[in-house]
């Protein structure tokens, strides 16, 4: 099966996220086509993953300032049926299981927490997603499936 692979590596700094969203959105509009809503979903997914990557990189706690070598790699893999995005960073990681201990969104006590919405957003917007994290980095993978095209009338 044909897979088109686009790889973008950017410094792990906030000002680069707009560029990442632009490239990923542009990539998703190439054949196979995602509709506008799904392209928006993808922009949010990748923005969330990269934001977490920046925070992980900058809190590495190994006594070193985040250097220009700290980067995020964003890979888009396009097939006829899906767009897959993989975001990898080299930061200190986090515990995806921690999210289970947050109160549900509708609980007023949730208002005390201004963060932690990113991963639930990724999971809600993607058709499939996986997040693996450890002390040497985090890998976020999300898949958006392409809606089947209606049959054309051409012979």
Partner 1 sequence: MIELGLDLTERDGWAVLAVSGEVDVATAPRLRERLVGLVGEGRSRIVVDLEKVDFIDSTGLGVLVGALKRVRTNDGDLALVCTGPRILKVFEITGLTKVFAIHRSVDEATVAG
Residues lying near partner 1 in the complex (CB under 8 A): 14-15, 17-18, 21, 37, 40, 43-44, 47-48, 51, 54, 104-106, 111-112, 114-115, 117-118, 120-121, 124-125
Q: How far is CA 49 from CA 45, 136, 155, in A?
A: 6, 16, 43
In the complex with partner 1, the residue whose CB is nearer, 66 or 79, is: 66
Q: How far is the CB of 89 from partner 1 (least distance, A)?
A: 13
Q: How far is the CB of 39 from partner 1 (least distance, A)?
A: 10
In the complex with partner 1, the residue whose CB is nearer, 42 or 146, is: 42
Q: How far is the CB of 80 from partner 1 (least distance, A)?
A: 26
């Amino acid at each position: 099966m044909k897979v088109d692979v686009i790889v973008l590596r950017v410094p792990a700094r906030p000002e680069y996220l707009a560029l990442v969203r632009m490239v990923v959105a542009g990539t998703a509009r190439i054949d196979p086509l995602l509709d506008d809503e799904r392209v928006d979903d993808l922009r949010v997914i990748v923005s969330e993953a990269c934001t977490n990557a920046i925070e992980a990189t900058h809190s590495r706690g190994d006594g070193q300032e985040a250097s220009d070598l700290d980067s995020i790699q964003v890979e888009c893999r396009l097939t006829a049926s899906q767009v897959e995005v993989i975001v990898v960073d080299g930061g200190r990681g986090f515990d995806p299981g921690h999210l289970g201990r947050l109160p549900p969104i509708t609980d007023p006590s949730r208002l005390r927490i201004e963060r932690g919405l990113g991963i639930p957003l990724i999971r809600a917007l993607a058709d499939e997603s996986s997040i693996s994290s450890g002390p040497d980095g985090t890998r976020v993978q999300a898949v958006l499936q392409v809606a089947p095209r209606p049959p054309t009338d051409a012979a």
